[in-house]
Amino acid sequence: MDIRTVDTTPFDDQKPGTSGLRKKVAVFQQPHYLENFIQSIFDCVEEPRGKTLVLGGDGRFHNRAAIQTIIKMAAAAGFGRLMVGQGGILSTPAASAVIRKYRALGGIILSASHNPGGPGGDFGIKFNIGNGGPAPEKDTEAFFRRSRQLNQYRIADVPDVDLERVGETPLGDLVLQVIDPVADYAELMEALFDFGRINSMFEAGMLDIRFDAMHAVTGPYACEILEKRLGAKPGSVMNGVPREDFGGGHPDPNLAHARELVGIMNGGAGAPHFGAASDGDGDRNMVLGQRFFVTPSDSLAVMAANAHRLPGYRMGLAGVARSMPTSQAVDRVAERLGIECYETPTGWKFFGNLLDAKKVTMCGEESFGTGSDHVREKDGLWAVLFWLNLLAIRNESVESIVRAHWRAFGRNYYSRHDYEGVDGARAGELVEDLRDKLAGLPGKRLGEREVRYADDFAYTDPVDGSVTEHQGVRIGFQDGARIIFRLSGTGTEGATLRLYVERYEPDPAGHDQETQEALKELIQIAENLSELRERTGRSGPTVIT
Ligand code: G1P
Ligand code: ZN
């Protein structure tokens, strides 16, 4: 096998964000762009000789071409084994499961998550470490530093490889192993949940579900697990064939983008009992009942409160964690259970140490992400199976489970307003100016409430002591209400400003309000304080979740 050393010049923009390096497809298509970043990773990881690497992606446009290049570079780098999902497919949680199961050095996942795909869409690369989770910041910083000095990369001179057939092919010293992308993941799910019990509900005709794979990676996983293994009726999985452009859609499971599913779930008495959707790479989830939306923050809280009822979590939870902007609903569950609740910066990579150190068993983010210690990524189908198992155990509707939860713990009204594609400099200034106001806020009254604290969130990792600063402006009130501002770290066009608003309502008589209505005063305060509309030039948010 010939290995070529190719001269290159560094790019200055290969800085990974909240979740890997994410850019427009055209950026990745520039000569050497992908190769430079992959070589930067390979130069920073431990000695690859003889080690196993996992590789797969969400099937979006450019996935196949990128995988062929990475195979050749992995062969040149000296890896011993490369496990690639058949057809180049591996969902993010499945990749995490495979890395863990086969004790790989790490894995490369090609995805831009929920961002649109196709030639005009986005592409991305994430590197996951041996625990199956996203590389921590010290690693992503190292990749970035390396990328700015790189002047050569190495690639094997071999023809493209057939990725359609499961099996092993030698490439020099490398064994290329094409794996069934679903098998290991499905086996893990069977170990965590009571498939027999869920199956009985389907058999008895007591459970009708719809899962929207949004033409993204979860299609094959959902067809195998939900329809084949669990016996959901054919057609329960919608949009189940992955497409390179996600059928022209925006594979983000929320009320704005999963419209078709939302329509079905709102469709009168005959609507399915349970609806769910996942995103481009399969790590996000949205849960719906009949005419009922479960906010991701509530979903996390309900799951934590009920975990002990499910086979995989019978021993109870060691602790829980949520990202800072996620609602405090799960904090109340933790308090009741007498376990710790950790508040981390946004992004799954911050949960890794807590999970590895067994400080937490379950964690989640308001951005439609929930997961547990079974992998080191958030996991969309896992959350769906968790809910199905819970429905089978409690034999109640989704709505009645959530309402009972609110009665027991109180309700955290919660919403996120996104201002997308805002001018980067202006968005930066807005946040800077807010930071300047923070010191004067504690003790002050804003509307009906008194400010208890106002700060720029910083996190000290309790396991390795690393400090992460500037993770969002928080304003907390005496009654637990919060207003948070942060700039997105995953966008590829201009800046995305996120406003998160939350308030706690202990009284069940107050649990029936419409969310935006219930949060109206706080939203107004947030908009005034930040001069949001004037500064962004927008009359309202692009997306409300
Ligand atoms: C967004 C979400 C965050 C999530 C990330 C990757 O990041 O807000 O919770 O971990 O996508 O799915 P952001 O764009 O806000 O930086
Ligand atoms: Zn995702």
CATH 3.30.310.50 fits 411-544, yes or no: yes
pLDDT at 19: 84
Give the DSSP per-residue string, 374-424: TSSS--HHHHHHHHHHHHHHH-S-HHHHHHHHHHHH-EEEEEEEEEEEE-H
Ion ligand 2 residues within 5 Å by Cβ: 113, 279, 281, 283-284
Intervals of CATH 3.30.310.50 along the chain: 411-544
Calculate helix-pair angle for 520-530, 424-438, nearest 10 degrees.
100
**Rounded-to-integer distance, Cα 396 and Cα 411, Å:** 19
**Prediction pTM value:** 0.95
Fold for 2-181, please state it: Alpha-D-Glucose-1,6-Bisphosphate; Chain A, domain 3 (3.40.120)
Intervals of CATH 3.40.120.10 along the chain: 2-181, 185-409
Q: Stretch 496-503: mean pLDDT, rounded? A: 97
pLDDT classification of 522: cutoffs 50, 70, 90 = very high
CB of 323 sitting under 6 A from ligand 1: yes
**Rounded-to-integer distance, Cα 134 and Cα 129, Å:** 6
Has residue 491 got a pLDDT over 80? no
Q: Stretch 465-472: mean pLDDT, rounded? A: 94
Return the structure tokens found at 393: 């155990």
For ligand 1, atom 11, the nearest C-alpha belongs to 490
Condensed to tens digits (0 to 9), the pLDDT of residues 68-78 reads 999 999 999 99
Condensed to tens digits (0 to 9), the pLDDT of residues 159-193 reads 999 999 999 999 999 999 999 999 999 999 999 99
pLDDT above 90 coverage of the chain, percent? 96
Has residue 490 got a pLDDT over 90? no
Selecting from 3.40.120.10, 1.10.10.10, 3.40.47.10, 1.10.274.10, what CATH number does the domain 185-409 have? 3.40.120.10
Q: Stretch 297-325: mean pLDDT, rounded? A: 98
pLDDT classification of 489: cutoffs 50, 70, 90 = confident
pLDDT classification of 472: cutoffs 50, 70, 90 = very high
CB of 48 sitting under 6 A from ligand 1: no
- Pick the atom of ligand 1 nearest to 367's CA: 9
Has residue 513 got a pLDDT over 80? yes
Helices (H) and strands (E) in the chain, counts: 18, 27
Helices (H), 84-228: 92-101, 137-147, 183-192, 195-203, 218-222
CB of 346 sitting under 6 A from ligand 1: yes
pLDDT at 18: 79
Distance 285 CA to ligand 2 centre (A): 9
DSSP code of 350? G
**Rounded-to-integer distance, Cα 381 and Cα 209, Å:** 13
- Cβ contact 414:515 at 8 Å: yes
The partner residues of 155 in beta bridges, in order of sequence, read: 4
pLDDT at 296: 98
Helices (H), 161-295: 183-192, 195-203, 218-222, 259-265
Interacting residues of 220 by C-beta distance below 8 A, sequence separation 6+:
89, 181, 182, 240, 242
Has residue 268 got a pLDDT over 90? no
**Rounded-to-integer distance, Cα 485 and Cα 428, Å:** 11
CB of 365 sitting under 6 A from ligand 1: yes
113 catalytic residue (yes or no): yes
List 113, 236, 297, 530, catalytic entry = 113
For ligand 1, atom 10, the nearest C-alpha belongs to 347
